[in-house]
Structure 1
Amino acid sequence: MDILISGLLLGGTYALMAMGLNLQYGVARIMNLANGEMLVLGGLAAFWLFTVSALSPILTAVIIAPLAFAGNWLLYRYLLLPLVRRAKTQGQLEVDSILATFGMSFALVGIMVSLHGEYFTYSYLATPFSVLGSTVALNRLVAFGLAVLIGGALYYWLNHTYKGTAVRAVSVSTEAAGLVGINVDKVSALAFALGGAVTAMGGALISTFITLDASVGVIFTMKALIIIIMGGVGDIRGAIIAALILGLVETTVATVVDPGLTLVAAYVIFLGILLFRPQGLFGRRA
């Protein structure tokens, strides 16, 4: 029961960072390798505001969301949109976006090292709390609850609003979406910016119970990539379920085998999905 509860709590917070990358890759067609650095930036902001001003990381997540949205919109508009318009094929766009965001990730790491070159951690709601007979840290429970709330709001927006329907239409086919009058560039910019905001909020929440540093973003990018491929590119529901599965697997391996093998377990899942079900759990074959 301890493994089940801990795994679900970890998977719930993983879902936030995966939903962000899913919007960026599944809708805007940008494989953002700087996604993990955006998460670490959100965590660093929460750390600073908590240690300097005793501001709750939950409130920080609310504050940084519009800032991250604006920053990611500018990145898409002035750095990535020219690549989208230049690319003659989807394959060329993926290669160009990988190279561009790979360089961006190094730039963000350099900025964060210059601002705060050490590990950063703080104590927030680090008190034991009993759930179904298992004891967990309250900060993990709060982060999971907020992740569920944000994920539910995003799912509702995508499925029950005009803008959300436009985003889903673009994720299915940019050509068909354009033919029915949807401004594909604007919707893609919206999805990319919203994905960055969700990821930054996830970083603020994750920082309450995980020690972060500037160089750890690549690990979160890899895990987010595993989750969206496992769940199906562009499928928010699939990303949430895949994140819970990854959280359960990592917790089980760390508890039963060895904590150092959690990344190995994640890679094995990734390899298995690529080999046997490349469209993901909820994706459809092309």
Structure 2
Amino acid sequence: MSRIRAGELDVHVQRLTPDVPLDGDAPIVVCVHGLLTDSLASYYFTLGPAFAERGLDVVMYDLRGHGRTTRPQSGYRLESFVVDLVDVLDALGITRPVHVIGNSFGGSVAFGLAAARPDRVASVIAIEAEPPTADWTRHMADGLADAKTRLAIDEVIGWIKDNHGAHTARLSKAANRILQTTTMADDIPRSATIAADLSDVHCPVFALFGGDSGLAAQVPHFEEHLDHCRTVVLPDQGHSVLVERTAETIELVFEWVRDVSRLPARVR
């Protein structure tokens, strides 16, 4: 475990560097996890080691309020998460553009960074994620309000335990603690947004969806509005692409990072 000071936070970071860097200068991938029930562990036990073995330099960290990173009472608008990511890169001495892998809410952070700091982003890899547009804020408001109400009910936690296991129930309790002790549910829907036509995003984007999740409906919009975009939809798959289709995700994302890294900078 490693903790670094990044801006106002003590951030839990894990970095996996390759023994043999890909192409002699390992592309850097930064993994951003999802909201409430997630942490860097979801990458540590899925993509991280596999990417390091293939020559990538992998950075994983716990978002503010999550895992072993500081949990301030307030300050949870998306732009704060974006600033945190820049602060993490600065604290690690990373100055060249990175490939940002974002799962679920982490993908929204990745898009936010690409819009705010295009100089820091080589590409965005969005796994079951939605760009932070005005529509996204409405979706997040509804989802967070529902979670804040429902996860505070003992019977709901009991149902989760009976139907999804004790581990998921513990994660749900932890999510409830975050929602009850911070302003996250109020802050995120008030986040700054990017243009609905995604014109704020200029870097290459790879978007990976589960066919059954509903988020795959974004594919035509991505393909119409993003200049350098690849989309893949995994059939018969819900939202948990990262943990349920790990092998396919490793192959698809690694190939994307490798190929984009080999493009001349002016083409990216």
TM-score scaled by structure 1? 0.25
Bigger relative contact order, structure 1 or 2 (CA pairs below 8 A, ≥6 apart): 1
| Greater share of residues in strand | 2
